[in-house]
Amino acid sequence: MLHEISYVLPDQEVLFQNISIYLNRGGKAGLIGNNGIGKSTLMKIMAGQVSPASGTVSTGTKPYYIPQALGQFDHLTVTEALGVSEPLNALHRILAGEVTEENLEALNDEWDLEEKCREALEHWGIRTVGLDREMSTLSGGEKARVFLAGIRIHQPDLVLMDEPTNHLDTLSRSRLYDFMKDSPATMLVISHDRTLLDYMHSILELTPWGITAYGGNYSFYKDQKKLLSESAEAGMRSKEKELKKAKEKERQATERQLKMDARGKKKQEKAGVARIMMNTLRNSAEKSTSRLKDVHEDKVAAISEELRELKTWVPDIDRMKFGFEDSVLHKGKVLFSAEALNWKYDGQVLWKESLDFQIESGDRIAVKGRNGSGKSTLMKIISGGLTPESGKVYRAEGRRVYVDQDYSLLDPDKTVYEQVQAFNTLAVPVHEVKMNLHRLLFPKEDWDKPCAALSGGERVRLMLCCITIGGTSPDMIILDEPTNNLDIPSLEILTAAVKAYKGTLLLISHDQAFADEVNVTREINLDNFI
Query: Using one digit for the tens of pLDDT, what is the confidence trace for 97-125?
Result: 888 888 888 888 889 888 999 999 999 99
Write phi, then psi, for 458 (nearest 5 degrees). Answer: -65, -35
The H or E element spanning position 105 is helix 101-107
Among candidates 45, 48, 73, which has minimal Cα distance to 62? 48
The residue type of 135 is M
What is residue 16's three-state secondary structure?
strand
Q: Quote the pLDDT of residue 280.
A: 61
d(CA 243, CA 311): 14
Task: Kindly list the strands in the beta sheet with 355-360, ordered across the sheet, starting from the edge strand earlier in the chain.
Answer: 355-360, 334-342, 390-395
d(CA 280, CA 339): 95
Number of residues written out for the chain: 530
d(CA 7, CA 44): 11
Q: Which ranges of 13-100 does DSSP label H, i.e. alpha helix?
A: 39-47, 78-82, 85-95
Task: Kindly list the strands in the beta sheet with 364-368, ordered across the sheet, starting from the edge strand earlier in the chain.
Answer: 400-403, 476-480, 504-508, 364-368, 522-525
Give the Cβ contact number of residue 250 at 10 Å: 17
Contact 508, 380 (CB under 8 A): no
According to DSSP, the residues that pair with 329 across neighbouring strands are: none
The residue type of 106 is A
The CA dihedral of 392, 396, 398, 403, to the nearest 10 degrees, is: -30
**For residue 479, how many C-alpha atoms fall within 13 Å in the half-sphere facing its CB?**
29
Q: Quote the pLDDT of residue 316.
A: 52
Give the single-character DSSP code of 526: G
What is residue 198's three-state secondary structure?
coil
Which portions of the chain are predicted below pLDDT 70?
229, 231-237, 239-240, 243, 257-258, 260-300, 302-330, 470-472
Contact 486, 457 (CB under 8 A): yes
**Burial class for 263, CB neighbours closer than 10 Å (0-12, 13-18, 19+):** exposed
What is residue 133's three-state secondary structure?
coil
| pLDDT per residue as tens digits for the range 212-230 | 999 999 999 988 888 876 7
d(CA 507, CA 505): 6
d(CA 379, CA 200): 34
List of residues 6+ apart from 249 with CB closer than 8 A: 296
